[in-house]
Structure 1
């Protein structure tokens, strides 16, 4: 079945409509299993606690492997990929890559990293961290322009709640953007392990900037 960020079943209304012959609308959420089947993973060798933590802790009583999915009008499930790459915004599945592509489509943006942060009403809200091309300067007007650009390219539901313009993004020594740390920044949590970063000062500066923009 499909559940939202809080573990609430979002497919029950869809199934009721199907039983009653009413029109069904596409829905999205986190894919969980509630009925065990013979070929599913039963444990991690030598580490039963890790198995419970990884697959059963996020939605108690449900097996969750970390995938987002949608249920279309015909009753077919579509896997959308890892939830780290898919945001659930007001019942809509939105790809972080899709929003990043829309941002870098704007002539001012050189690079973008997008994450979903917890939101009381929408489940998740979109936060974007962007680097500007040479010759462009950050401003409130540009931030609004970037938000509107995403809404135009993808749709109003994909309009970012936050756009933070930064001089750098937190990357590992191999050049991978650490989105986990960006999520910590956006949700106001203590930063996780930063030892693999090429420059740990980058994320600290970004955290200060984000907090000042929120204030």
Structure 2
């Protein structure tokens, strides 16, 4: 007699859930490998071994390594988009939204320092359609969020008008730089580990400098 568990596993819904769980496990394994190695260079066989599967399953779910890397980006950007939507909908002032946003961006880069390298890699190897997709899911949501914060800050009399494109590159570039060059941190500044205190202090310093630069100026 077939057990109830086996019968349930054979149902369409159970099979869909099993496929989704398998897919998510592969994405997690790939992200963990890149984080641990601080590199995008890894074989698909290692991803399979970490999940108890073969490299063929990666091909089945994603078509190629590039497809798997794209899935990692999509997961990370989806989480960031949810956080920005919640922050945008809050009643906080523009300054508080900006402080929390910068803390969140720095934390995200510390957790996944490979993010910008991965995006650059995918952009360099992408056709026009995929390049547009990457921009739509990663760059545009952040740029739109920045534009909304800047406009709110101007309305509140906190910020002077500033080009959102310039602002985007200043924020993202500054936040990412801490993890982009970790070796000089040790050799030049004696920093062996990016701990929570350093992460918060770095994020708050970026906030303080940016706000001082974009603060509304009294009329002369």
Same fold (TM over 0.5): no
TM range (shorter): under 0.3
TM-score, with structure 1 as normaliser: 0.27
Larger Cα Rg: Structure 1 or Structure 2? 2
Structure number with the bigger relative contact order (C-alpha 8 A, sep ≥ 6) is 2
Structure number with the higher strand fraction is 1
TM-score, with structure 2 as normaliser: 0.27
Structure number with the higher helix fraction is 2
